[in-house]
Amino acid sequence: MTAEVNHLGQPVGFAVDGWTPRRPPPRAAMEGRLCRLEPLDPGRHAAELFAANSEDRDGRMWTYLPSGPFADFAAYLAALHAAAANPERLTYAIVDGATEKALGVASYLNIEPSAGSIEVGAIAYAPRLQRTAAATEAMYLMMRRVFDALGYRRYEWKCNALNAASLAAALRLGFRFEGIFHQADVVKGRNRDTAWFSITDAEWPALKAAFARWLDPGNFDGDGRQRLSLSELTATRPPR
């Protein structure tokens, strides 16, 4: 939308009629066809997550995350307890529907109910979850709660600007690149430039339809290969 002009002829933001602060996301599970997101419970999820993460032999999944790899289960359990107790985020375990095993985590961060803005981050997918339809469905379920159930206006994705896999994932999921914050942080003793992406509520209906079409069982052949890529479908989102 274009800026409006006030009585002085100055450009101002467009009116957001009837806006009221949104409620924070609830601690409630999200159920999909391929996976389920459960509020993180270290006592219940830690052993399964640690075992699944251990299949990442060289620790590649931790390169751009602020924590990990973990020397042992005790260290990982302590990290999960800290994440679950953090009042500024809401972390979910991603449970694979086929095996009923927790294979990853993802969080709502930077929750700003007054602005209607929220970020998805702290995403750690074990190798068995990476590049699967369940991994994509987990992101869709989190988006759907933010926009459909809670009525937020903005959904953010931020990552290390050197993390090529995360940059590609953001674009595939329909996020728009907004720019790079240089020298935004120091992580594990190294500089981090942070790439910012977002989805707005105006873009959500088209993206929701794209996800529904991609996740439909008819989009996959007998060997599980996709007929249409999600990138093709999310590219149809309207311009800003």
In a domain, 211, yes or no: yes
Q: Rounded CA gap, 154 and 148, in Å?
A: 12
Is 168 a domain residue? yes
Residue with tokens 């500024």: 88
Per the domain annotation, does 41 fall within a domain? yes
Per-residue pLDDT of the chain in tens (240 residues, 90 and over written 9): 667 898 888 988 889 999 999 999 999 999 999 999 999 999 999 999 999 999 999 999 999 999 999 999 999 999 999 999 999 999 999 999 999 999 999 999 999 999 999 999 999 999 999 999 999 999 999 999 999 999 999 999 999 999 999 999 999 999 999 999 999 999 999 999 999 999 999 999 999 999 999 999 999 999 889 999 999 999 977 778
What's residue 240's pLDDT?
81
**Count of the separate structural domains present in the chain:** 1
Determine the pLDDT at residue 156: 98
Tokens for 174, please give them.
């329909």
Residue 3: what pLDDT?
Answer: 73
Residue 17 lies in a domain: no
The rounded distance, in Å, linking the Cα atoms of 158 and 155 is 10
Is 13 part of a structural domain of the chain? Answer: no
**Is residue 240 in a domain?**
no
Plot region of 131 (φ>0 → left; ψ -120 to 50 → alpha; else → beta): left
CA separation for the pair 31, 53 (Å, rounded): 23
Residue 14 within any structural domain of the chain? no
- Which CATH number do you get for residue 123? 3.40.630.30
Report phi then psi at 100, rounded to 5: 60, 30
Q: What pLDDT is stored for residue 2 in this prediction?
A: 67
Could you tell me the residue range of the domain that residue 218 belongs to? 28-234
Examine residue 119 and state whether it is found in any structural domain, yes or no.
Answer: yes
